[in-house]
Structure formats: C-alpha cells, structure tokens
C-alpha cells in the first residue's frame, strides 16, 4: 500500500474517527448515569445549564467565542455551578471558592485528575498527574523534596547564569517573547532535573521533546505521517535518553547529587526506570509552558503600566546598590530574592489577571451530592480558576492590574494560580525563583517596546497575548 493510498484512506475515515472520539465518551458517561438512576442511588437533580446539541454539546460555542466569555456568560445565566457538554464530555463547571475547595481539597478523593488519553500516552501513564493514593503521595514527596526552599536556594547561581545568557541573546533583536521564555524555562527545568553534569544528552533531549510537544493537542491517530505518530516515536526516544542518563549516573557511584533525578533514583524509593522516565518528562511539561506564559504576561503588563515598571526597577536597583557597597561577589543570592516584595506582588497580580491555568479537569469517581445537585459518576468537573480570580466579590475592580492588592492576603480559596490540594503544583518555589531572577536583570539592564497593538488573548491551551507578544529589546546605555 503506497503512502498516497494511506493518505486517501486517512482522509476518508477522519470524519468518522472524529465522530467516534466525540460520541464514545458521551455514550459511556450517559449510560453510567442511567445505570445509577435505575439503581436508585440518586434522586437529586443535575445543576442548571444546557447540554447543547446531541453528541457535540456546546463545543462549537466554546471555540467560536472567547472561552472566557463562554464560561462567564453561563455563570451569569445559571450561577456558580452549571452543566454543559464540551469536547465529547458531559461537564459540571464550578466557579465559587467554596465549590473549588470541595472538589480539590475537602472531597479530593472523590474527584480524580483526568487528561485526554493521548496526552497520558505521550507523557507516560505513570506520571504524577494521572495518579491518586499512595503512589501519588510518594511521587509528590519526592518532588517537594527536590523543589522545597532548602533545595531551591542552591540553584540561584545556575538559574542566574541561564537568565543572563538568555537576555544577552535577545539584545538588539525582535523576539517572540513566549517562545524565548519557553526556551529559558526549559533550560531551568533541565538544570533542576539533571543538574549541571548531563550536558552530553541535553541537546538530543531537547530535540526529541520539541517533536513530542507538537502532538500534545493532535488527534490520537497513530498512523505514519501523523503528528501523533511522530510524537510517540519521539516519546520512545526520550525514554531511551533518560535510560542512558540513568545508566551513566549509576556508573558514577561516588557522585553526590541533589537534583530531582537523584531524588527519583534513591534506592529506598524503588522506582522503576519507566516510572522515572514518565515523571521526568511530566515535570518538563509542567515546568515549561506555564512559567513561560506568566513571564510573557509580566513583560506585557510592566510595559503597559509604567508606574509599576518604575517601582519594580527601583526595588531591583536597590539590591544592586547594596552589593556595590558591600559584597565582592555581585551575583544574586537567595537572600536577595527575599528582598523583592513588590516584584513578588507583580508576579501574583499577573497570575491573577492572566490566570494562565484557567481551569483544571477532575472526574467524579462516584455520584456526588454537592449543595443539593448531583455530580454523576464519570462526569468531568472543572473548577474555573479564571472566573474566581475575576470575581468582584473576591477582588475589587478585578480587571484592573493592581499589585498593591496583594499587600493583604486574599480571602481563602480565591487565589489558586498553582491549583489547590494534593495535586497543587509542587514546583512553585522554583517557578518564583526563575521569574524573580530574570526580572532582576531584565528591569535593571534592558529596555523593551511592544511591537503589536493587538490586545487579544490566544489559548494554546494556556492563555497568552496574541502572537506570543513580539517585542524589541535592547541593553540600556545606563542602568537607571
């Protein structure tokens, strides 16, 4: 069979395959709900809302409009808990702090994390994202051990080197901010995972990962020539690269390392090579795009708010002046990063306004009663972080960019940029460090201008400024 014939057959069957991917989850969850009702387990009703058209639900409405407007319109119409049907799945949306806490913290055992099957195959089925129970707790403990402040403080010099190198390479150029921030965040992730001693494999690992990520949102059709097929091949190569690194590390029996790989390789943990590979690739996925997205929005908001940029720059210049008066070593230290309170508030406000993680997916593992509404087993449940972050009851004048609002701690469960509960991001300290270090050098040494007047938002799947925020950046002639 020739490639032309395969291509023709693929095109002929693609509509049918797409139909199946939309239909099967609907039928499965519908039948589950029907069985539950027949057995008399649940007599309470579903939340208000519309399930849209048969099979496709409200997916077309979601993607024909800004997703922010889609969720906000339905919240205004139905209240803080409502039902819909998107992406082939019946869903319950929750947009109150109390409901988000119920799903993510109070009754977290009743709502398992869920991802598309294709993404699970690409990252690896034994990665922490897809787990619950003892195995999840063990992985989380290992991640926290590698990313806690005590471990992160030793990475300041390495992160600073990467930040200085990145900014130097941008000097005098027009850049796609998001793409360049992704490269920076990727390098920080690799440093944290492997330390400084695995450079032999890094470029090959990067190349394979770039191929893998292109297929994250592709249709899971594993035929030669498709994005999914190329991504799965890259995934196998990544597994082999990690295996080679593990073998190399084991041969260095006297080596002492404090990176994430060493934490995973601790003999007492008894993780298999496959488990280690799945979680290494998963950490790269989690550490890269989200941090790069936040940094991209910070660059935009600082330029659009000159008084905020001036305050950040003044705070960072004070750190430089202190070093000029005292220490011989002018490099940043962990203590320096603790002298950046206003810059920290800028990061917090950016994460609130931009809400990179607009929502998260959970799936009910049994029928759940929440405030008199039924959440049926098998249905997806989406806590809507963006809606919570932009609610006037939680934050006054919520559309305004105002870092000073974080001088006072927000109300409980109203600010969840890293999620909440046992599945909250364990790497938030590292993410904060790499943002602070880059912003120190960016604001004190460089100036930049925005090259597009478009204020739109793209979703891919994280919220981003249009076109990745193109900017022109150059070194300041004087540091002021």
Q: Chain-centre distance of CA 144, in angstroms?
A: 17
Inform me whether the pLDDT recorded for 388 exceeds 90. Answer: yes
Band the pLDDT of 9: cuts 50, 70, 90: very low
DSSP 8-state class, residue 419: B
Helix (H) or strand (E) holding 307, with range, is helix 306-325
Most confident of 24-33, 131-140, 202-211, 272-281: 272-281
Residue 249 confidence (pLDDT) above 90: no
Per-residue pLDDT at 259: 82
Single out the residue of 228, 208, 232, 230 nearest to residue 220, CA to CA.
228
What domains does the chain contain, in order, with CATH numbers? 21-115+357-389 (3.30.43.20)
pLDDT tens profile 359-387 = 888 999 999 999 999 999 999 999 999 99
pLDDT > 90 fraction of the chain, expressed in percent and rounded: 50
Flag the least confident range among 16-30, 209-223, 344-358.
Answer: 16-30
**Which has the closest alpha carbon to 441: 327, 331, 339, 342?**
331
**206 CB-near residues (< 8 Å, 6+ apart):** 186, 190
Please give the Cα distance from 19 to 349 (Å, whole number): 41
In sequence order, what E strands does 159-207 have? Answer: 173-176
| R_g (Cα) of the chain, nearest Å | 24
Residue 214's pLDDT is: 83
What does the pLDDT look like over 412-456, one tens digit per residue?
999 998 888 877 787 888 999 999 999 999 999 999 999 977 778
The answer to whether the CB of 362 falls within 8 A of the CB of 103 is: yes
Termini Cα distance of the chain:
67
Banded model confidence at residue 321, pLDDT cuts 50, 70, 90: very high
Q: Is 18 annotated as a binding residue?
A: no
């Amino acid at each position: 069979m020739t490639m032309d014939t395969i291509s023709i057959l693929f095109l002929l069957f693609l509509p049918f395959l797409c139909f199946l991917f939309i239909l099967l989850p609907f039928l499965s969850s519908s039948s589950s709900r029907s069985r539950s009702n027949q057995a008399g387990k649940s007599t309470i009703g579903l939340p208000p809302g519309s399930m849209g058209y048969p099979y496709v639900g409200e997916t077309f409405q979601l993607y024909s409009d800004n997703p922010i407007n889609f969720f906000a319109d339905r919240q205004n119409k139905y209240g803080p808990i409502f039902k819909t049907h998107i992406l082939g799945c019946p869903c319950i949306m929750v947009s109150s702090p109390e409901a988000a806490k119920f799903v993510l913290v109070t009754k977290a055992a009743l709502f398992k994390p869920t991802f598309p099957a294709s993404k699970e195959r690409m990252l690896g089925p034994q990665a922490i994202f897809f787990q619950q129970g003892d195995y999840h707790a063990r992985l989380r403990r290992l991640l926290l051990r590698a990313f806690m402040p005590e471990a992160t403080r030793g990475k300041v010099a390495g992160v600073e080197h990467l930040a200085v190198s990145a900014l130097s390479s941008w000097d005098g150029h027009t850049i796609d901010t998001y793409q360049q921030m992704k490269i920076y965040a990727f390098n920080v992730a690799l440093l944290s995972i492997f330390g400084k001693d695995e450079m032999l494999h890094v470029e090959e690992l990067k190349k394979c990962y770039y191929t893998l990520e292109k297929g994250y949102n592709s249709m899971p059709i594993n035929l030669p020539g498709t994005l999914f097929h190329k991504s799965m091949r890259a995934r196998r190569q990544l597994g082999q690269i990690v295996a080679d690194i593990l073998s190399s590390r084991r041969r260095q029996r006297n080596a002492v390392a404090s990176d994430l790989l060493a934490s995973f390789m601790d003999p007492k943990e008894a993780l298999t090579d496959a488990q280690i590979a799945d979680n290494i690739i998963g950490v790269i996925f989690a550490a890269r795009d989200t941090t790069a997205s936040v940094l991209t929005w910070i660059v935009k908001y600082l330029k659009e708010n000159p008084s905020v940029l001036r305050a950040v720059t003044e705070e960072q210049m004070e750190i430089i002046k202190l070093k000029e008066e005292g220490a011989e070593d002018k490099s940043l230290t962990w203590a320096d990063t603790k002298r950046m309170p206003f810059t920290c508030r800028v990061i917090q406000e950016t994460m609130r306004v931009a809400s990179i993680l607009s929502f998260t997916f959970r799936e009910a593992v049994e029928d759940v009663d929440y405030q008199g509404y039924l959440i049926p087993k098998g249905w997806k449940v989406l806590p809507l972080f963006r809606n919570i972050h932009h609610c006037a009851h939680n934050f006054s004048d919520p559309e305004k960019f105002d870092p000073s609002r974080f001088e006072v701690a927000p109300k409980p469960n109203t600010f969840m940029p890293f999620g909440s509960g046992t599945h909250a991001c364990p790497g938030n300290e590292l993410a904060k460090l790499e943002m602070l270090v880059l912003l120190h050098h960016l604001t004190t040494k460089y100036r930049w201008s925005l090259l597009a007047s478009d204020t739109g938002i793209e979703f891919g799947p994280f919220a981003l400024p249009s076109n990745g925020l193109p900017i022109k950046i150059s070194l300041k002639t004087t540091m002021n």
